[in-house]
Chains A and B, each alone.
Chain A
């Protein structure tokens, strides 16, 4: 599966080369960022054309995999909420203080309808700027967080 090459150019962008084709600047995109993050990754050119479909990252050589993972990490922003520390009010808009896998932050929840169930006890919370926060498993949160969350569900 090593019929293409990935590298990083001076501007810090991923460049894709396959065979005789001219090199393309690409971005990796997960097809199912929430349901199956490790399966199905597309390398997409600047004009939106899919250049390469990767079934799983495991099939790639280490160097390419690392480049893709690095690029994904710097592009994907879906902080996972680990704990809800406090909410400013139970009426919306309400400011939430949370601990996520990417550190502690605060965001403004505009309305209860911005908390969406996406199956399997997962919740997707959109803040007032459209940033999405994920709760992987409501049941796995601590009791205090669940209690706060419960008031909005």
Chain B
């Protein structure tokens, strides 16, 4: 795990080992790669049952474990700091880059356990949730991939990744075999015509020049042979290309569907860390690139190799000596072409990247066009675009200099090769070693495959590109969901909605978002969640929805741990209304029935009525059949929200989650939505997050969160009477309202919450 640092020299490790006496064992080792002045210097901190050891260039220090020792771990800007404190004094301080953070966490936890044991408390059996990650030692929940390692991706794509595609090719192995045999035969058929020129020359044309009449029967036979071989090659080539294109297209489609299916099963955490565009490219163009590689480049290359091998065999069988001369320059020419191609490839890659710079200007400017115009910066943006284009031209000019040279050079090399064959051939004909026919056949053969060398040299770069593509696909496929389906899932059926949270803890990366939180919610109760941005409200809701799994503790519904339910069955009991309602492209009716595709029209209308959406839907030109979503009818925020409320009403869930359902609309619309929500909330266990406390008046109990912990629980009146955290929040908002400053969202929640906006939309 010391990817960013030099691995600790072996002597350090053995030095460390030699410092331990027989009975003590190493519990945790943290390799340091920075010193106090943040220079890259190796060092080590190690923990045994009895002491803490630290070593660096200047020697070793050690502290016997003691109950009044404490460790503090924090990080800033990629640098982790581990401090040893004793009675309020800092007695040791070590630095490391974040790559070593899992090891530091491990050390930290082990240290706390040991100290707790020393203080008399029985050491907790094990704080570990499961097996440690094999690569970095961070403890993992069962079947989870380690977040720290999976982000590492230290291995560059290797061509061997392509072999993993075999999993997708296997169902088509017979077609592939047929395709290969056909390729073999077609290539052989292609080699017949030059062979026939030999007797045609020696037995028909040369004797004619020497005064013999042309043997038309013989000539006809040879010409017929030429025609037949051409026809056979044509048919075979057609069939093989068709079969292989068919197969590769299917492999590509299978790859796409499998990847997308797998992607949908991954947890929200995965989507949180990825850009939508990147995932789209992976599934879209990367699979296409692999497909083209399989059907075109790989096929061409196989054909070329076969042809070169077969030609070489034929040439050797005709005349080994001339064959040697013909084939000798081949490796040299191949190497030359490869070198030039290689340089060109870098050039082209550069062009690609520069090109993306040009498109970046467009992608920046067009969505921000209102700002550009408002600040009258059109000229500057035009200048920026011109500059990017100029850069593009400079790079392209440089590439074109080599590129324009390339084709003529290949031709020249081919001609030189031919010249050599001519020279040796004429010399041999002069000595009577070979006939004119043999020489003609040779010339015909080699002019065929010299030109193929060019296309063969391309294989290196396309293989690399396809391998990179395959790797990116397998990155997705290899990612194990960290919200795993239980081995024997329980079908939850219809839940009553009693929710129990027991000592729930959740870490996002190395940052604790929820700490030791316990709460029990009765069926049909409405809970209002309030707190500052980043206090863990949305995370808590995500945990209850099981978009993530808890790191510690458990959440149970109706007495069963939610990890034992089948995920889909459990979520069918949840209704979710988000701050930014997401509408899919389709009719309004489709959108309302999203969670229950077999709903009748009457059910849809009833849900829409209850959500106060019926009337505005009827005002639309096509009523319930109006198209919405991207490219569809534009709806206002309140209207979209009411459709999403109808969507939640239709599945009639017993557990309802309202995540800031009214905070992105104005006060009037909020009132309308509120009445719709009141219909929705009735008789259901409801957890509502709200920015505006006024929307939580109806809540049975209000839970105030701060830094992942509950600070206050109780009904509105009680909390107001208590004059605590809730009271303060309430007063602050009341003042804001008085000052008429209550804007819908003063601060952006998303920057602190682990789930960015796209991911939230994806679950709507």
Chain A interfacial positions (CB closer than 8 Å to B): 10-12, 73-79, 88-95, 100, 102-108, 110, 112, 127-132, 151, 153
Contact yes or no, A91 B37, CB < 8 A: no
Given the known inter-chain contacts A10-B90, A89-B156, A129-B78, please indicate yes or no for A74 contacting B353, CB distance below 8 A.
Answer: no
Contacts of A74 in B (CB 8 A): 36-38, 95
Contact of A130 among B34, B78, B157 (CB under 8 A): B78
Contacts of B350 in A (CB 8 A): 153
Q: How far is the CA of A31 from the CA of B153 in the complex (A)?
A: 33
Task: With both chains docked as a complex, state the minimum distance between the C-beta of B351 and any C-beta of chain A, in angstroms.
Answer: 12
Contacts of A88 in B (CB 8 A): 156
Q: Indicate with 1 or 0, residue by residue over B66-88, a CB within 8 angstroms of chain A CB atoms.
A: 00000000001111000101001
Q: How far is the CA of A78 from the CA of B464 in the complex (A)?
A: 33
Contact of A129 among B41, B85, B97 (CB under 8 A): B97
Which residues 141-198 of B sit at the A interface, judged by CB distance below 8 A?
Answer: 151-157
Contacts of A105 in B (CB 8 A): 4-6, 33, 40
Contacts of B464 in A (CB 8 A): 91
Contact of A76 among B77, B89, B97, B152 (CB under 8 A): B77
12 sample A-B contacts, Cβ–Cβ < 8 Å, listed by A number: A10-B88, A74-B36, A77-B34, A91-B157, A92-B156, A93-B154, A102-B37, A103-B40, A104-B6, A105-B6, A106-B4, A106-B5
Whether B494 sits at the interface, judged by CB under 8 Å, is no
Contacts of B6 in A (CB 8 A): 104-106
Q: How far is the CA of A91 from the CA of B349 in the complex (A)?
A: 11
Q: How far is the CA of A78 from the CA of B34 in the complex (A)?
A: 13
Contacts of A76 in B (CB 8 A): 38, 77
Which 9 A-B pairs rank lowest in CB-CB distance, beginning with the nearest? A103-B40, A131-B78, A89-B156, A102-B39, A12-B90, A10-B89, A105-B40, A129-B98, A77-B79
Contacts of B36 in A (CB 8 A): 74
Contacts of B511 in A (CB 8 A): none
Contact of B76 among A75, A103, A104 (CB under 8 A): A75
* Chain A residue, CB-CB nearest to B87: A10
Contacts of B4 in A (CB 8 A): 105-108, 127-129, 131
Contacts of B40 in A (CB 8 A): 79, 100, 102-105
Contact of B38 among A11, A89, A102, A128 (CB under 8 A): A102
Contacts of A91 in B (CB 8 A): 156-157, 464, 468
Contact yes or no, B156 A93, CB < 8 A: yes
Contact yes or no, B151 A128, CB < 8 A: yes
Task: With both chains docked as a complex, state the minimum distance between the C-beta of A107 and any C-beta of chain B, in angstroms.
Answer: 5
Q: Indicate with 1 or 0, residue by residue over B364-392, a CB within 8 angstroms of chain A CB atoms.
A: 00000000000000000000000000000
Contact yes or no, B39 A95, CB < 8 A: no
Whether B61 sits at the interface, judged by CB under 8 Å, is no
Contacts of A104 in B (CB 8 A): 6, 40
Q: How far is the CA of A79 from the CA of B34 in the complex (A)?
A: 12
Task: With both chains docked as a complex, state the minimum distance between the C-beta of B395 and any C-beta of chain A, in angstroms.
Answer: 10
Task: With both chains docked as a complex, state the minimum distance between the C-beta of B70 and any C-beta of chain A, in angstroms.
Answer: 11
Contacts of B77 in A (CB 8 A): 75-78, 131-132
Given the known inter-chain contacts A77-B79, A130-B78, please indicate yes or no for A94 contacting B156, CB distance below 8 A.
Answer: yes
Interface residues on chain B, number (Cβ under 8 Å): 38
Task: With both chains docked as a complex, state the minimum distance between the C-beta of A32 and any C-beta of chain B, in angstroms.
Answer: 15
Contacts of A75 in B (CB 8 A): 76-77, 79
Contact yes or no, B97 A131, CB < 8 A: yes
Contacts of B346 in A (CB 8 A): 90, 151
Interface SS of A by simple majority: loop
Contact yes or no, A131 B88, CB < 8 A: no
10 further A-B pairs in the complex, CB-CB below 8 A; given A77-B77, A128-B152, A128-B154: A73-B37, A74-B36, A89-B156, A94-B156, A104-B6, A105-B6, A105-B33, A106-B4, A108-B154, A132-B77
Whether B93 sits at the interface, judged by CB under 8 Å, is yes
Interface hub of A75, A102, A103, A127 (most chain B Cβ within 10 A): A103
Contact of B89 among A11, A106, A131 (CB under 8 A): A11
Contacts of B83 in A (CB 8 A): 11-12
Task: With both chains docked as a complex, state the minimum distance between the C-beta of B458 and any C-beta of chain A, in angstroms.
Answer: 17
Q: How far is the CA of A70 from the CA of B98 in the complex (A)?
A: 22
Contact yes or no, A103 B153, CB < 8 A: no
Contacts of A129 in B (CB 8 A): 4, 78, 97-99
Q: How far is the CA of A79 from the CA of B353 in the complex (A)?
A: 26
Contacts of A132 in B (CB 8 A): 77-78
Contacts of A110 in B (CB 8 A): 153
Q: How far is the CA of A95 from the CA of B77 in the complex (A)?
A: 21
Contacts of A77 in B (CB 8 A): 34, 38, 77-79
Contacts of B39 in A (CB 8 A): 102-103
* Chain A residue, CB-CB nearest to B5: A105
Q: How far is the CA of A90 from the CA of B89 in the complex (A)?
A: 48
Which residues 1-59 of B sit at the A interface, judged by CB distance below 8 A?
Answer: 3-6, 33-34, 36-41
Contact yes or no, B155 A93, CB < 8 A: yes
Interface hub of A91, A95, A132 (most chain B Cβ within 10 A): A91
Q: How far is the CA of A91 from the CA of B36 in the complex (A)?
A: 34
* Chain A residue, CB-CB nearest to B4: A107
Task: With both chains docked as a complex, state the minimum distance between the C-beta of A121 and any C-beta of chain B, in angstroms.
Answer: 14
Q: How far is the CA of A131 from the CA of B40 in the complex (A)?
A: 13
Q: How far is the CA of A12 from the CA of B155 in the complex (A)?
A: 40
Contacts of A153 in B (CB 8 A): 350, 353
Q: How far is the CA of A146 from the CA of B491 in the complex (A)?
A: 61
Task: With both chains docked as a complex, state the minimum distance between the C-beta of A26 and any C-beta of chain B, in angstroms.
Answer: 14
Contacts of B85 in A (CB 8 A): 11
* Chain B residue, CB-CB nearest to A108: B154
Contact of A95 among B38, B99, B154 (CB under 8 A): B154
Contact yes or no, B5 A93, CB < 8 A: no
Q: Indicate with 1 or 0, residue by residue over B200-234, a CB within 8 angstroms of chain A CB atoms.
A: 00000000000000000000000000000000000
Interface hub of A73, A106, A153 (most chain B Cβ within 10 A): A106
